[in-house]
Amino acid sequence: MSQDSAAHDETISIGELRAALLPDFPEITISKIRYLEEIGLLRPARTKSQYRKFSHDDLARVRYVLRMQTEHYLPLKVIKANLDAMDRGLDVTSDPAKPRVPTLAMARDADGLPSAEEFARPASQVRISRSELIEQSGLSEEMLASLEQYGVITPERNGQFDTDAFEIAQTVAALAEYGFEARHLRSFRTQADREIGLFAQVVTPLMRHRTPESRGKAEETIRELAALSVRLHATLVRSGLRRQVNS
């Protein structure tokens, strides 16, 4: 384990936590730290003897609470909601009162189309509620319900939505301004499922070997196929539009 990893995994006592905070927050007390735990803003680990052991993430969490209180004068109820939003992957830096889904830059090739690296993006850690999805994407409740009915957007088992669902919702909201309805977009879902099925036929032989090398090759192949598929689709649409304009 590297020194940085060891430092990150190291836990500290409540007294050491207070000592680390004192230079920036001289009024912090052990009682205040315990109170933050009581109201659910902190969840320190416990030893077998029930002593609190705080992580460096806990330290950053307390710093955030104290900074929001002293610099933004936010009540603890709002701060608690912001911490919950941060735990769900939302961005609260631009406006602490309005957590937002972070903007993710798309990995593109020189021609602007999504590259294979875009499809290597790890699974989203963002989880937003139904109301947050509607508010931030611009979709109506009626449109979202229709998209779910046609399988264009699928919530998690707990009813929340991830970044992919949010990006789909934003795109659909933009298309809706041109008169598109959910039923018009069902073909996009159907075509995507067909492409996924074709890709699966290509990589299934690699997955059968169940070795790290084979799995890595399968993942690389899937990414390349996805990028090529998007490129083919974009080119076909561009070519068709040109023919229509010039006919």
- Is 5's pLDDT higher than 70? no
* pLDDT, position 57: 92
Q: Where are the domains of the chain?
A: 3-87, 116-246
Helix axes 56-71, 14-21, angle to 10 degrees: 40
Domains 3-87 and 116-246 are alike in CATH topology: yes
| SS3 of the chain: helix, strand, coil, percent, to 5 | 60, 5, 35
- Is 15's pLDDT higher than 80? yes
- Is 138's pLDDT higher than 60? yes
Name the more confident of 102 and 32.
Answer: 32
CB 41 within 8 A of CB 31: no
Percent of the chain with pLDDT over 70: 96
Residue with tokens 């007390």: 29
Class of domain 3-87: mainly alpha
Across the range 176-202, mean pLDDT stands at 93
* pLDDT, position 142: 95
Gap between the Cα atoms of 162 and 176, Å rounded: 21
CB 155 within 8 A of CB 148: yes
Across the range 232-241, mean pLDDT stands at 92
Given the candidates 1.20.1250.20, 1.10.1660.10, 3.40.50.10140, 3.40.50.2000, the CATH classification of the domain at 116-246 is 1.10.1660.10
- Is 6's pLDDT higher than 50? no
